[in-house]
Amino acid sequence: MDIAVKLIATGGIDQLRVLESAPQSPGPLEVRLRHEAIGVNFLDIYHRKGIYPLPSYPHVLGAEGAGIVEEVGSDVAFLAPGDRIAYAGAPVGGYSSTRLLPAARAIKLPDGVDARIAAASTLKGMTAYMLLRRTYAVKPGTVMLVHAAAGGLGAILVRWAKHLGATVIGTVSSEEKAALAWSHGADHLIVGRDADIIGRTLDLTQGRGVDVGYDGIGGAMLAKTIQCIRPFGTAVSFGQAAGPIPPVSLDQLRPNRALAHPSIMAATGDQAFYTEAAASVLDAFRLGITATIGGEFALADAGQAHTELEAGRTAGSLLLIP
């Protein structure tokens, strides 16, 4: 039986419903995709909680997946049934056995790229591209701070940054996660939830600070990240896994620091960016720059996957398998 996981109203995982969902016929410029794997992201939790509201309810969550084209609508010339594709970003609706997708959002997968890897890595790869190439242009010699370096996005950020020639200082919450971050290529790690991140970062940079710091943690962490940045460097805030971010005053950016607040959903809403980022992500896949899969759940157990991700008990990307 084909199913979809729908969010009835914003709130906890008790607002998720597993419902039977028959395949739909694609309209013009649409395809129907049968999922092989669906990526789970903090973005889904933000949608569930209403931090980033969805346009209406009930609504199927999910902004990343991969599978096989079952049927194409009229005026779709570059895709055919049987093609292997992935997608990321809007329109949200991935927590389902099958879904309709605008053909323009379909990314053809090369031979050798497993659907599970694509579902775990496409949105995160586009996010890494946005952060490393558009928000701050990382280059050889760049010294950067990456929080949650063992996470799904962290793995791609560290691997891609090392490919670009950067020095990576990562933070992780445990020695177990440190082992993963080392395997991703981190040069230095700051371990422990109570670690002195500012002091250790300044020690590792001889008091200078990092060129760029990537903060998807939010909460009180952003203020600490800003203090790790060198003059004329950039702090990048792109998530709030630890909770809402207190207001940041301009005085906190002294001396001469910049603060960026990019959005991957906004960026991927621009089709030109989406096409450019997709090409870069496929190139990264060929270089082995992908997420590490940290766990798999049945699609019907999406609520359990949310619980594990929110609690920080996982390392790597989580997948839902229909």
Nearest Cα residue to 314 out of 292, 295, 291: 295
Same domain, 257 and 297: no
Same domain, 137 and 43: no
Same domain, 212 and 140: yes
**Domain-embedded: residue 193:** yes
Residue 313 has pLDDT above 90, yes or no: no
Confidence of residue 242 (pLDDT cuts 50, 70, 90): confident
Residue 5 has pLDDT above 90, yes or no: yes
pTM: 0.94
**Domain-embedded: residue 267:** no
Report pLDDT digits (tens) over 298-310: 999 999 999 999 9
Arithmetic mean of pLDDT, 204-215: 98
- Cα–Cα distance, 190 to 196 (Å, whole number): 8
Reading the block at residue 141, the tokens are: 């010699």
Q: Quote the domain boundaries for residue 91.
A: 3-109+292-321
Report pLDDT digits (tens) over 161-202: 999 999 999 999 999 999 999 999 999 999 999 999 999 999
Q: Where are the alpha helices (DSSP H) in 130-186?
A: 152-163, 175-184
Where residue 142 sits, what CATH number does that domain have?
Answer: 3.40.50.720
The distance of Cα 144 from the centroid of its chain, to the nearest Å, equals 18
Same domain, 57 and 152: no
Are the C-beta atoms of 230 and 208 separated by less than 8 Å? yes
